[in-house]
Every structure is written in structure tokens, then in C-alpha cells.
Amino acid sequence: MNLKKIIYISSVLLILIACNNNNTEEKGKALARVSDKYLYLSDLEDFIPDKINPSDSILMAEDYIKKWIQKELLIQKAEENLSNDQKNVSKELEEYRNSLIIYKYKNELVAQKMDTTVSDSEIKDYYNNNTGNFILNRNIVKGIYLKIPVEVANPEQLKLYCGNESDENFRDLKEYCLQYAKAFDSFNDLWIDFDYIINFIPTEITDQKRFLERNTMLEASDSDYYYMVCIRDYRLAGQTAPVDYVGGQIKNLILNRRKLTFLKNVEQDIYNEGIRNNKFNIYDVEK
């Protein structure tokens, strides 16, 4: 950017800041022109955020002005080269407006009147009737992850904790980890991608299927930390996903189906209302 332009835009921005601070607007200040179209200072006021440093303000202002000029030049070129029929977009605008207000009206009806409650029994019924649609493409697990500094870790004790799934044992493990662990995460009731868990362990498992079928815990360590994953349950890629893993997905499927039915009934009800109130006529074009 040359010095003259910097000085110009800087002065414009100083005026803009002053206008913002004084809650006034200078409508007549022109910043750019394309033929008979002008970009005014007031057009730029809402675009430049308050409390922004001057260098960023200059860059934003210059970019905005350039894009405005490019747009106006493109409009001008289109006006010059398109026929009157091509430039007549009233039909398209009407169709777009109609589609938009119908879309907004339907969304408002859905928000106000459609039942969005999905019971556990509905989810289970859908799951049981469509199990073939819920095949896992990855290995998933439930369990506990912990990361403890090497100098305070007690692997043998932790293995005992890991091997006992009682509530009392879990409380003891949680208390131990709160005292010593750098990281502790229990996902006994939540399915997690096994790949995601492995990202936090300094080890590599080349055959996840074989590992999960043969192990209930994963251990690793580096110079600083001891890591352990207690594997409480698992499902393998290719198996049917557990219902609690796909429950959210099923809920959305049920709601989408319910929405389609709801809107179809709305359209039919409005049509029937039109018949009752003689709001429309269908003419026989052959007569």
C-alpha cells in the first residue's frame, strides 16, 4: 500500500472512530465511487469493530473497499452484457421469497407444535427393527484411563483396582487417582473409539481385534508417566453397534421421520381447509 493511500485510509478511520465515539454519523463522506454508485463512511462504520488497533483497521477498511469496488464493477458488467429478459429476475425473486417464508413457517410450526420427545422404548424398537443399519466401522470400548507420574505410580495396586469392578473398588481407585494422577477419565458408561484412547498411550497396537479379545487392560510407560486403560467392555468393527452407542443417531432419525409426517399432515390440513372455505378453484382447461 502506498503512503498516500495509508494516509487517506488512516484519516478515514480516524473520522470513523470519532463518529463511533460521539454516536454520530457523517452520511455524506464518500470513500469510493463506481460510476454513479458511492461507498460512504456510514457503510463502513458497522463493518469495522470498535477497539481494534489502527493497523488492523486499515487492512480491514482497504479490503472492504476493494471488495465493494469489485462487486459493483461486476454488477455493472453484467448490466451491460445481459439482455433485458436475462436481467428480469422478478420471477426468481418471488419464488425465492415464497420458498423462504414457507420454510420459516414450517420451522415455526415444528418448533411450536411438533412433539420432540423420544422415549427409550421408541429408540429400542427402532434399533431392533433396523439392526442391519447399525454396523460398526471401528472398534469401541468402555473403561477407565489413567496417567500417573512414574515416581508415584504403583502398577501392582493399579492392576488390582482394574481387575475389580465393584463400586467400592472404583471409589478407592478414584481417590487414588485424585491424589496422584495427572489424568483420570472414567468412561464405564460411555462408548469411546479405541483409536481415540490409543492416542493418549505411548504404544502401538497393530492388531486391535486380537488385543481386545485377549486383554482387559492396556499398560504403557515412558520416562515421565505410567499409563493404564482398564477395558470393561468392547465391540469390534463389523459387529452390530450397541443401542446406547447409536441412541442419539436413532433419536435424530425418529425425529426426522416424525417431522416429515408432521409437515405432510400440515400441508394436507391446509389444503382441506382451503376446500372447506372455498379458497381455490380448479378449472377444466378442455372446456
Q: What is the pLDDT of residues 209-235, one digit of tens each?
A: 999 999 999 999 999 999 999 999 999
At 22, the pLDDT band (50, 70, 90 cuts) reads very low
- Is the four-CA dihedral 165, 167, 172, 177 of positive or negative sign? positive
Give the amino acid at 202: P
Residue 253 has pLDDT above 70, yes or no: yes
8-state DSSP, 240: B
Cβ(217)–Cβ(241) below 8 Å: no
140-173 burial, b at 16+ Cβ within 10 Å, e below that, comes to bbbbbbbbbeeeebeeeebeebbeeeeeeebeeb
pLDDT digits 0-9 by tens, 164-195: 888 888 888 889 998 999 999 999 999 999 99
pLDDT of residue 11: 56
Residue 250 in contact with residue 123, Cβ under 8 Å? yes
Q: Is the pLDDT of residue 113 over 60?
A: yes
Using the predicted structure, report yes or no on whether residue 267 has a pLDDT greater than 90.
Answer: yes
Domain 136-235: which CATH number of 3.30.420, 3.40.50, 3.10.50, 3.30.750: 3.10.50
Using alpha carbons, select from 97, 103, 127 the residue that is nearest to residue 253.
127
Give the pLDDT mean for 226-246. 96
Between 37-46, 125-134, 230-239, the lowest mean confidence (pLDDT) is in 37-46
The band of 197, judged by pLDDT with boundaries at 50, 70 and 90, is very high
Identify the pLDDT of residue 164: 85
Report residue 242: phi and psi, to 5°: -60, 150
pLDDT top residue among 10 and 198: 198
Q: Are 228 and 217 in contact (CB under 8 A)?
A: yes
